[in-house]
């Protein structure tokens, strides 16, 4: 009888305590993003997380703990390098400039991420991420979406930017200075107040995400053409990456490739919807005349590439070559 009771007790003990031991097999990645969870730029992040959590079969879980309310956006790259967080799901390259002098090159690329995987640029970025920020680079969720200048002053020619105060992240600084404007560094969460109070006359932002900050309420104009390219990095602390089993590493890389297409497609749809919201709020698009638009873009790319190559002589020239359409293999577009 005593043996029977003991058997029941042991069985109950195993049932109660098997879950914790089972959960211990799940590797949890504590992740952050540069922007708050409800921001439009994070649109594809939940899709990525869901795919990883489901397809890993319980071996891997991404715990998205938050955005700048957890760690300030500009400080997140230091936290990732140190291992304070395991992963950043969405982080602009421009925010990495203090640690990665090559970072600005990403916004200058002529290629989508899937094309950079063919040109050799992707492999080079992986090397740079490991060397500079102690991280495994997975890829870029958004592609082919330009940045725009948003202002409260009318702009009809490049000369009109002179004397303006423009909110920047580091990526835009050489360009804004070359326009004759004054760059002002402001955290994304503070742009609304800076525009409302006239601390800045304008700001640069990708052509998606402005309405997430409510900036259509305090902004009159958006300037065409766009420049640069949206460049959010997804990366994992290198020590954490090495602890992930090889099959799960491969899974993360495969899902990232899928998300690059999915997120870019969704972004184009969001861009159209956002444009409608901005117009309804009274924001007007000012298209520079063709000659002025070409001058605007030329200043952007020449000044920024010159800055990158001067400050990152080890990788800058290589990145410029591999980020060009000329770097693609001849069979990249067989239908042409």
Give 4-28 pLDDT, tens digit per residue: 434 433 343 333 333 333 345 899 9
**26-143+230-269 against 147-229+273-319: fold identical:** yes
Please give the pLDDT value at position 336: 43
Instruction: Tell me the mean pLDDT in the region 57-73.
Output: 96
CATH number for 147-229+273-319: choose from 3.40.190.170, 3.40.30.10, 3.20.20.80, 3.40.50.300: 3.40.190.170
The fourth-level CATH superfamily of domain 26-143+230-269 is Bacterial extracellular solute-binding protein, family 7 (3.40.190.170)
Domain regions of the chain by residue span? 26-143+230-269, 147-229+273-319
**Mean pLDDT value of segment 231-253:** 97
pTM of the shown model: 0.83
Average pLDDT on 120-149 reads: 96
Find the mean pLDDT for residues 109-121: 96
User: Which region among 25-39, 125-139, 318-332 has the lowest average model confidence (pLDDT)?
Assistant: 318-332
Q: What is the pLDDT of residue 24?
A: 52
Candidates 64, 88, 63; CA nearest to 77 is 88
Query: 232, 43 in Cβ contact below 8 A?
Result: no
With 60 as the cut, is the pLDDT of residue 104 above it?
A: yes
Give mean pLDDT, residues 212-216: 95
pLDDT at residue 18, rounded to an integer: 36
The encoded tokens of residue 108 equal 């200058």
Residue labelled with tokens 């890993």: 56
Check whether 46 has a pLDDT greater than 60.
Answer: yes
Nearest to 211 by CA among 88, 50, 35, 57: 35
For residue 255 the two structure tokens come to 């899902």
Is residue 161 over pLDDT 50?
Answer: yes
Sign of CA dihedral 31, 34, 40, 44: negative
CA-to-CA dists, residue 325 to 111, 310, 319, angstroms: 7, 22, 12
CA atoms within a 13 Å half-sphere pointing along the CA-CB vector of 20: 4
Residue 230 scores a pLDDT above 70: yes
Q: With bands split at pLDDT 50, 70 and 90, how would you rate the model's confidence at 3? A: very low
Rounded mean pLDDT, 113-125: 97
Asked if 233 contacts 91 with a C-beta cutoff of 8 angstroms, the reply is yes
Ordered DSSP codes for 304-330: HHHHHHHH-TTTHHHHHHHTSGGGS-G
As a whole number, mean pLDDT of residues 253-264 equals 96
Lowest mean pLDDT among 111-115, 172-176, 330-334: 330-334
Q: What is the DSSP string of 82-127?
A: HTSSSEEEEEEGGGGTTT-TTGGGGGG-SS-HHHHHHHTHHHHHHH
Which residue do the tokens 């957890």 mark? 70
Given this model, what pLDDT does residue 333 score? Answer: 53
């Amino acid at each position: 009888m005593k043996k029977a009771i003991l058997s029941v007790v042991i069985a109950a003990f195993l049932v109660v305590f098997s879950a914790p031991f089972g959960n211990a097999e799940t590797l949890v990645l504590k992740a952050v993003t540069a922007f708050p969870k409800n921001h439009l730029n994070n649109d594809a992040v939940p899709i990525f997380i869901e795919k990883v959590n489901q397809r890993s079969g319980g071996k891997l879980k991404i715990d998205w703990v938050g955005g700048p309310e957890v760690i300030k956006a500009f400080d997140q790259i230091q936290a990732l390098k140190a291992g304070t967080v395991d992963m950043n799901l969405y982080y602009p390259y421009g925010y990495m400039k203090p640690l990665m002098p090559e970072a600005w090159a990403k916004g200058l690329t002529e290629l989508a991420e899937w094309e950079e995987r063919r040109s050799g640029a992707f492999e080079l970025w992986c090397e740079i991420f490991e060397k500079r920020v102690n991280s495994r680079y997975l890829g870029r969720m958004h592609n082919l979406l330009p940045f725009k200048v948003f202002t409260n002053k009318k702009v009809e020619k490049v000369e009109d930017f002179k004397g303006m105060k423009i909110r920047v992240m580091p990526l835009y600084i050489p360009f804004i200075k070359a326009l004759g404007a004054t760059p002002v560094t402001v955290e994304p969460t503070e742009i609304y107040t800076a525009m409302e109070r006239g601390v800045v006359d304008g700001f640069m932002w990708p052509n998606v995400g402005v309405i997430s900050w409510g900036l259509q309420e305090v902004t009159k104009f958006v300037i065409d053409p766009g420049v640069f390219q949206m460049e959010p990095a997804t990366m994992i602390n290198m020590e954490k990456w090495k602890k992930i089993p090889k099959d799960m590493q491969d899974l993360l890389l495969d899902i990232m490739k899928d998300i690059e297409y999915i997120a870019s497609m969704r972004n184009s749809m969001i861009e159209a919807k956002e444009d409608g919201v901005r117009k309804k709020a009274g924001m007007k698009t000012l298209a520079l005349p063709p000659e002025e638009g070409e001058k605007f873009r030329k200043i952007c790319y020449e000044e920024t590439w010159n800055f990158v190559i001067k400050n990152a002589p080890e990788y800058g020239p290589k990145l410029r070559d591999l980020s060009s359409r000329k770097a693609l293999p001849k069979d990249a577009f067989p239908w042409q």
